[in-house]
Amino acid sequence: MTEPSPRAYVPFVSVDAMMALVHRIGLAEMLTGIANYIEADFLRWEEFDKTPRVAAHSPDGVIELMPTSDGQLYGFKYVNGHPKNVKNGMQTVMAFGLLAHVDTGAPVLFTEMTLLTALRTAAMSALAARHLARPDARVMAMIGNGAQAEFQALAFGAICGIEEVRLFDIDPAATAKVARNLACSELRVVRCRSAEDAIEGAQIITTCTADKANATVLTDNLVGAGVHINAVGGDCPGKTELHRDILERAQIFVEYPPQTRIEGEIQQLDPDHPVTELWQVMAGESTGRRDELAITLFDSVGFAIEDFAALRYINDQVQASGTTQKLDLLADPDDPRDLFGMLQRAAPAQAA
């Protein structure tokens, strides 16, 4: 008699396991590691399948699927963005993701990605700034002090050498939260009463607000020569943070233009307005910052290759540490052609 084959389980990283992984590796090292994986994948940009994410928009938010493949591995992320969730005690952004073998379709890893998205978004922001901001930048203004703010600040400290973060949010409680959470970091944290106050002396400006609306978080008169702007918050049609005049003055860098023109700050501009793809700067195919007086803008909306890189990073870490759980996600009959037989054998025994 043939022995049943072992059950096929999918390695799963829970929220608790992800938090334990961050503390075991160290937050700064993890942010740097994810940034390195993203850069490595951006340097092989042309190997990837690329498509704008599949989005279902509603008046309250958006639900998105973000897929890509390099021909060997396939990855996708499910993620939402619902700003009103905070009022109900829920996260604005919730996410999970999967990595699978292309040749068999078998999942390699299934993981939470709410924390991982915060980590990869911050890592991507700082990676872009490393290529675009002035090398002597040491002060960053952080406008919008929600769930992403601490990750952004710490990533810029670890990857770009930022020493001071100047905080502003229209909700003082949000600013107090960030200041409290960063109190034990090596960053100098300054609470500011206005966006104008926060920007004073900053060489990098990060905008990261959540409202699903065309807003003017930054006006043109606030942005001086030599500044790098990290626009994180604009991520769907009808949602922007920067005045159009800023875009007209800046060198604009994006992840994937077909997606950014729909969702990013550049949705305000003509469809043929020139932008530079960031992977080309990393690969040395395009120029980044022209000079010290240039205004550079990273119009960040997030792209699937970044999530793919983050999934690869986490998979490598958990393979080394064995910290995954076994998730019973896949039907795995003894005979691949006998799915019905597996169902029959699972029937409860009949009472005598």
Residues of 214-242 as b/e, b for ≥16 C-beta within 10 angstroms? ebebbeeebbeebbbbbbbbbbbeebbbb
DSSP 8-state secondary structure symbol assigned to residue 88: G
Q: Strand, coil or helix: what is 205?
A: strand
CA distance 224 to 221: 7
Collect all residues with Cβ–Cβ distance below 8 Å to 272 and sequence separation of at least 6.
Answer: none
Given 60, 171, 197, 235, the catalytic residue: 235
Assess contact for 267 and 258: CB atoms under 8 A.
no
SS3 content of the chain, % helix, strand, coil (to 5): 40, 25, 40
- Cα–Cα distance for residue pair 207/203, rounded to 1 Å: 13
Cα→Cα distances 2→5, 336, 345, Å: 9, 14, 15
**Residue position matching structure tokens 């002090």:** 145
Q: Which residues have C-beta within 8 Å of that of residue 252, sequence separation ≥ 6?
A: 265, 266, 273, 274, 275, 276, 297, 299
Which class for 268: exposed (0-12), middle (13-18), buried (19 or more C-beta within 10 A)? middle
The two structure tokens encoding residue 88: 């109900």
**Residue owning tokens 């990393």:** 282
Strand 107-112 to 10-13 pairing: parallel
Annotation says 291 is catalytic: no
Query: Which residues form the catalytic set?
Result: 235
